[in-house]
Structure 1
Amino acid sequence: MKHLYAIGTYTTIQPQVPNACGKGISVLEFNSTTGGLTVKTVFKEVADPTYLNWDAVGRKLYTITEDPHSNGRISSFSIDSEMNFIAGKTLEGPGKAGCHLEYYADINRLYAAAYGSGSLTGYLISGGEPEKNVCRSAYSGCGPNTARQEASHAHQVLRSVDKNRLYVCDLGSDTIWMHDLDAEGNAGEPVAALKVPAGYGPRHLAFDPSSPFVYILGELEPRLVTARITGDGSMKILADSATVKELEGNPANPAAIKIHLSGKTIAVSNRFRDTIGIFSIEYNDGEPAPVLKDEFTCRGKTPRDIEFSPDGRWLMIANQDSDNIEVRRFNTETGMPENEWAPGLKLGTPVCITRLEGLG
């Protein structure tokens, strides 16, 4: 079976990507039998589309343009059967260094996080197009890492499994913020759901889809924090594990976290170690306690985003600074890596992998 994926890239040089050479948004065809990738089209009329989100029902691709000096842009695109991009509306972005966005069709809201501004912005979506900014929250706080935690830095926004709340990872203040959603889908005032250990710098999280547990990935310290979500939405830490086997040496600065389809393993990317860590989700008295079972090379430099194929048979790895995407086979039953690698693909400064479900 074949699937289509959109790849977001850095197209301009920034301090964290001094050799950026992305061309825009690439659409790749993925063969789930062989793991092979082929380029279908490249849309070049967008700068620094570093995070993408696809609405499979409305068949719209939403993008955030990351700009460290301005609020950037939120844009929408349609993609036709010939792989042509049709531009929709563009609005001012959520703040400096916008870095993450998610669209929720049932409430017609798109939420975006801005790292530089330490803020969350909600947009009304009408007819698949961003219409206006309808709510905004700015976070406060700092942490012990004076270089990276001098202020709040919102890095990711995700809706809870029960759809009643939003959660935001704030790298700068070591906080997971939560917002109750009102009847219209607008986010209320932020409340601290969890303070992770000082200096961890939470970057991304992933919810267990069927249980009240969440896995939180630290960036400044290479840690995977497991927590229980309580009835009021707050979180209680259950376990805390390193994402690398050797803590000495270069910083790891993890980036992405994904749960395997089997529900038995978690994959994380360790950017500056150039490795992928694989955790087995084990249990103590019914509560998850992930154990790092494997750490393997990403076959490149600076693995940023990772994504499992829909059948759980392959893991795609976007290597930002070596300009390549690599694909490794996984066991669909155990969720553990196997020895086979697909050929991979050269592609400039890839940082986001988004499946275009239902397209093609």
Structure 2
Amino acid sequence: MSIDLTRRRFAGAALLTLALPAAARPAKRGTRIYIGTQGKAIVSARFDSRTGALSALDTVAQVERPTWVLAHPTRPLLYAVSETGAVGASQGKVFGFAVDGTGALRQLASPDSGGAGPTHLALDMASNTLFAAHYSSGHIAALPIGASGAPGAVASIQADTGSGPSPRQKSPHAHGSALHPSGKVLAVADLGADRVFLYAFDRKTRALSPNPTAIEVPAGHGPRHLAFDAAGKFLFLITELVPELRVYRWNGGRPELVETRSTLTAPLEKASGAELRLSEDGRFAYVSNRVEDSIAGYAIAPDGKLREITRVKTDRTPWSFTLAPGGRWLLATNQGAGTVTVHARDPGTGVIAPASQSLAVEKPTSLAFL
């Protein structure tokens, strides 16, 4: 499928919205979005879910390299990593913020993250636990969330092991995690080890067990991010060094490979898989590709098989993207271009439109809707 085909397939009202100039769509009110960056601040804007318009940026917190931000699904709370620290010398940080009615942030706590270079956060509401994956040191840590919403000192920590053939795989690099809906297993994608580690997790004690089992991927592929479907039947994984979307049937905790699909239209030197998201209804999976600078979407069959249904061009280096609540919009953080782009999405077909608007943000890497 060509990238331009999506424009022809996306119909009606959405195209009329995209045709409106940004100046005609002021976003004085709307949902707050928070953007993580490779700089020294978390920035925020308002997003109008009717038109897809974004307001001007505000700086809402001073944090060193807040590359991953995560909003609590039901409370006015925002969490962020500080991707700092050095292996064997110092740790990064996890920041917790309360959000007031204006969208301003009030820092609650900033405990050590449990390793060097925290790069991703995941949340388990049932146990009030944050999981921090550490790219630099290869650690995965569980941090409690207190009654106020503040993150506490690390409750449990484990270290991935292994290496791979790429120069970027000399040691383990935990890049993302996802908890199985049962709450019993935490899957950790490790770029350096070419494995997805499966740690037993105890929701009562927040303990991550040692000696995990693992899913091995082909050498040099570099697992990056992953997600379970809501029923816990399938595990989806994107690899970075060789961009592929891999689907595993969970099968009672013994994952079986269902399908492997390249996320690119054609082989590219130094191509880089980046983000993976599932739609709220579980019918579609989306991935972003750096170097090709695209976002692709796939329909998910009941047996886990994939069918490509959309592909759009983005600005340079789509580090991450997020689906807006309700599924009508997709917002991409394009780190290389220094932009956040807004893409309309048809929730019924899953098709994404080319960008309707672009907002300048210095080195954006992640985005959260509050």
TM > 0.5 fold call: yes
Aligned partners of 1:154 and 1:169 also within 8 Å: yes
Q: Secondary structure of 2:291's match?
A: helix
Post-superposition shift, 1:352?
Answer: 0.6
Amino acid in structure 2 at the alignment position of 1:267: Y
- In structure 2, stretches of 5+ residues that fail to align are 1-28
Amino acid in structure 2 at the alignment position of 1:187: L
Q: Which residue of 2 aligns with 1:188?
A: 209
Amino acid in structure 1 at the alignment position of 2:294: T
1:186-265 aligned at under 5 Å gives the runs 186-210=207-231, 212-231=233-252, 233-247=253-267, 249-265=268-284
Post-superposition shift, 1:40?
Answer: 5.9
One of 159, 164, 168 as aligned partner of 2:179: 159
1:303 aligns with 2:318: yes
Q: Compute the RMSD of aligned alpha carbons.
A: 1.9
Q: Which residue of 2 aligns with 1:175?
A: 195
Q: Which residue of 1 aligns with 2:77?
A: 60
Post-superposition shift, 1:193?
Answer: 3.5
**What is the CA deviation profile of residues 225-283 of structure 1, one whole-angstrom value per residue up to 9, with x for unaligned ones?**
1101121x231111100000101x332211101122343322111012211122232x4
Compute the TM-score of the two structures, normalised by the length of structure 1.
0.88
Post-superposition shift, 1:52?
Answer: 1.4
Post-superposition shift, 1:58?
Answer: 4.1
Q: Secondary structure of 2:110's match?
A: strand
Deviates most, 157-166 or 32-41: 32-41
Deviates most, 177-186 or 213-222: 177-186
One of 344, 347, 356 as aligned partner of 2:358: 344
Deviates most, 238-247 or 77-86: 77-86
Deviates most, 213-222 or 43-52: 43-52
Structure whose residues are more often strand by fraction: 1
Q: Which residue of 2 aligns with 1:142?
A: 163
Q: Which residue of 2 aligns with 1:31?
A: 48
Q: Give the Cα–Cα distance (whole angstroms) in 2 for the partners of residues 64 and 7 of structure 1.
A: 12
Q: Give the Cα–Cα distance (whole angstroms) in 2 for the partners of residues 275 and 218 of structure 1.
A: 15
Identity of aligned residues (%): 28
**What is the CA deviation profile of residues 202-231 of structure 1, one whole-angstrom value per residue up to 9, with x for unaligned ones?**
100121223501111000101111101121
Q: Give the Cα–Cα distance (whole angstroms) in 1 for the partners of residues 74 and 262 of structure 2.
A: 38
One of 130, 150, 171 as aligned partner of 1:129: 150
Q: Give the Cα–Cα distance (whole angstroms) in 1 for the partners of residues 34 and 43 of structure 2.
A: 6
Aligned partners of 1:9 and 1:50 also within 8 Å: yes
Q: Which residue of 2 aligns with 1:321?
A: 336
Aligned partners of 2:168 and 2:192 also within 8 Å: yes
Change (3 A) 1:184 1:211: closer
Q: Give the Cα–Cα distance (whole angstroms) in 2 for the partners of residues 323 and 243 of structure 1.
A: 23
One of 99, 103, 107 as aligned partner of 2:127: 107
Change (3 A) 1:55 1:228: same
Aligned partners of 2:312 and 2:353 also within 8 Å: no
Q: Give the Cα–Cα distance (whole angstroms) in 1 for the partners of residues 164 and 49 of structure 2.
A: 43
**What is the CA deviation profile of residues 43-74 of structure 1, one whole-angstrom value per residue up to 9, with x for unaligned ones?**
24211111112224442211110125342211
Change (3 A) 1:68 1:132: closer
Q: Give the Cα–Cα distance (whole angstroms) in 2 for the partners of residues 134 and 44 of structure 1.
A: 26
Aligned partners of 1:76 and 1:87 also within 8 Å: yes
1:276 aligns with 2:304: no
Q: Give the Cα–Cα distance (whole angstroms) in 1 for the partners of residues 287 and 245 of structure 2.
A: 9
Amino acid in structure 2 at the alignment position of 1:79: V
Aligned partners of 1:60 and 1:76 also within 8 Å: yes
**What is the CA deviation profile of residues 101-134 of structure 1, one whole-angstrom value per residue up to 9, with x for unaligned ones?**
1232331322111011011111222232223222
Post-superposition shift, 1:190?
Answer: 4.2
Aligned partners of 2:82 and 2:118 also within 8 Å: yes
Aligned partners of 2:297 and 2:350 also within 8 Å: no
Q: Give the Cα–Cα distance (whole angstroms) in 2 for the partners of residues 126 and 265 of structure 1.
A: 34
Q: Secondary structure of 2:153's match?
A: strand
One of 307, 310, 313 as aligned partner of 1:291: 307
1:85 aligns with 2:105: yes
Q: Give the Cα–Cα distance (whole angstroms) in 2 for the partners of residues 136 and 159 of structure 1.
A: 15
Change (3 A) 1:42 1:275: same
Deviates most, 78-87 or 201-210: 78-87
Amino acid in structure 1 at the alignment position of 2:176: Q
Q: Give the Cα–Cα distance (whole angstroms) in 2 for the partners of residues 118 and 236 of structure 1.
A: 25
Q: Give the Cα–Cα distance (whole angstroms) in 2 for the partners of residues 68 and 295 of structure 1.
A: 37
Q: Secondary structure of 1:224's match?
A: strand
